[in-house]
Structure 1
């Protein structure tokens, strides 16, 4: 925890920017204070795709049609963001071939890099845990690129290496032929190369069997960028307790979404899922991945309809008796640790020449 506490506080959070609280005001003030030191590292935001449909939208100014912009990220205490580069299901290229998926992914990467260039005072490309701290020290939001779809690796590792060179740091195996029910021989090669490059494997959308197999095969921690507890809500996108235990064994990370279809339609329901993940996977393996970045009509619990609502969730957890040390892990520490551990694994692999 010392490395978090030694960094200057993250600027940009003000109680006047927050939605009307549904929690005790004292807890909300404590939540805002905690997030000024331990900001949120959010695991999933689809803004890159949404902005491709709205090419003239300015994210320095709040706009009713989109739920994410820099002012609301700052108001919510978001200090790091994983920008998803997946094309949403049901989009214009649904049912695309692997080659089309690769082309779409390159377009997504290009759009993400253009976004970061357009807003250099708010967003900073992050590749490492050190970049996370540097961005926070400079009052910017550390921006990790990914995940990209595993389907882009159509029998070769070249695309993965190219993605890494472009700054991508997450890969999603779900839907790839090499990771459907477990791992093929090529799938094991993908995992080894991802470990060597410090590219995190995002198990969102993987079957429980595949998720457990990948978590066991990876020498670096794995994560699920946006999910919830299947034992509380048997949604197909939620993780089972068996997967949570596999994440605990692998020192991985399950990041809880704010999607009402997965969690329920209240802030308290989201908090229930966060608490369940902590109880099963442990306080070092729970994070937050709201899955914002969509049109404003996406169903979210009241108070959590955009990133500015994060302090309300932290206040709810404070009211439930969460120690501040566990909250610091939930918001920032666990995500930073997973990124750092992936770097350690990569350096060890490169030293061995594997």
Structure 2
């Protein structure tokens, strides 16, 4: 008998499951979000009403997420907050945006990568300044909510934040365009807390890795900074996945085999991620997945089938204003329990779901840190 058949809920998990049970008695009512393990009373927040026919699955989803919360690969809230200062309070639900602390709690988000990407100028000075502004906004946001957010620099920080009932907050990806011809800029970004970099649009990776691009990949590996291939074309993605000694990730995408879209990845890339032990994090944007929760689950099924259960994750790309069109039930950060319930009904095992929500992201971080320790013995800055 598997350990999941003996699954025993800690107090936090029982709280989450009971909240879901209350919701099933009265679908129009809202209850408490599943508390993060180790928290002494997570922020109360509305939880989405259960979908018809899924009461058992929602109970199990709440229990699982209380132990294995969501590590989400992409949220663009920083740029939204900078452009809309009237959204400065994320302690309460705000109709204009899809991300705030109550909804993150309701969705059982335990770790979040806060995107540093901007639609700003392409010039070197402009993109560096914008990236520094994004970093400053992220650090200010984390300082403003110390009871809910915790700066994370490594996999141990991710686990520690979960155990203290905080949301582990990683900075990244930063745009690879900031580096131009300077590894010193990369080291400075690392010192400021950046833990992932996106090569898309950078001259050193646009048509394939240049000689400097290979140096960037080696230095990213030495610093344990993840490479985020979001937006790279297939050939470049496959090349970088093969060149990197550490796992790479794609923080928000979907399967091109199901939905042709410029931001989606081919099976060739998924197979390259599988070979490299990387991570494909599926978005909730309707343009990339389709306009139903069922369609998002189809993309997760496809990525798992091609890349394997150890290479699939979640990167909803919430944080936009106005919100990006998304499937009903997944319109904001509180929707994760619905998706997990759908996957349970499709036959996903609880061990595979724990990989999807938390364990795969933590494993990629740990593998990058292991690679960095090995590289630092062989190579200086």
**TM-score between the two structures when normalised by the length of structure 1:** 0.95
Deviations 1:9-29 (A, max 9, x none): 767854323212225111011
**1:349 and 2:375 equivalent?**
yes
Aligned residues of 2:77 and 2:320 also touching (Cα < 8 A): yes
Residue matched to 1:182: 208
Aligned residues of 2:48 and 2:335 also touching (Cα < 8 A): yes
Deviating 4+ runs (over 3 angstroms): 5-14
1:154 deviates by 1.2
Q: Distance in 1 between matches of 2:228 and 2:127?
A: 17
C-alpha distance 102-268 of structure 1, shift in aligned 2 (>3 A)? same
Q: Distance in 1 between matches of 2:83 and 2:12?
A: 31
Aligned with 1:19 (options 32, 48, 61): 48
Deviations 1:298-348 (A, max 9, x none): 201000000100000000000000000000000000000000000000000
Deviations 1:127-164 (A, max 9, x none): 11000110001000000000000000111111110110
Mapping 1:115-264, distance limit 5 Å = 115-264=141-290
Residue matched to 2:116: 85
Residue matched to 1:41: 71
Residue matched to 1:50: 80
Q: Distance in 1 between matches of 2:318 and 2:182?
A: 32
1:86 deviates by 0.2
**1:313 and 2:339 equivalent?**
yes
Mapping 1:260-299, distance limit 5 Å = 260-299=286-325
Q: Distance in 1 between matches of 2:150 and 2:318?
A: 19
CA RMSD of aligned residues (A): 1.7
Deviations 1:60-109 (A, max 9, x none): 11110110001100110100000000004xxxx3x531221111000100
Residue matched to 1:109: 135
Q: Distance in 2 between matches of 1:221 and 1:307?
A: 26
Q: Distance in 1 between matches of 2:226 and 2:82?
A: 25
Deviations 1:201-242 (A, max 9, x none): 000000100000000000000000000000001101000000
1:351 deviates by 1.4
Aligned residues of 1:7 and 1:137 also touching (Cα < 8 A): no
Which blocks of at least 5 consecutive residues in structure 2 are unaligned? 21-30, 32-45
C-alpha distance 187-139 of structure 1, shift in aligned 2 (>3 A)? same
C-alpha distance 191-10 of structure 1, shift in aligned 2 (>3 A)? farther
Residue matched to 1:74: 105
Q: Secondary structure at the match of 2:141?
A: helix
Q: Which moved more, 1:101-110 or 1:288-297?
A: 288-297
Aligned residues of 1:126 and 1:132 also touching (Cα < 8 A): yes
1:295 deviates by 1.8
Q: Secondary structure at the match of 1:220?
A: coil
Aligned residues of 1:7 and 1:133 also touching (Cα < 8 A): no
1:7 deviates by 12
Q: Distance in 2 between matches of 1:58 and 1:147?
A: 24
Q: Distance in 2 between matches of 1:333 and 1:6?
A: 19
Which blocks of at least 5 consecutive residues in structure 1 are unaligned? none
Residue matched to 2:94: 63
Aligned residues of 2:255 and 2:265 also touching (Cα < 8 A): yes
- Structure number with greater Rg is 2
C-alpha distance 7-110 of structure 1, shift in aligned 2 (>3 A)? farther
1:181 deviates by 2.3
Q: Secondary structure at the match of 1:284?
A: helix
Aligned with 2:60 (options 6, 12, 30): 30
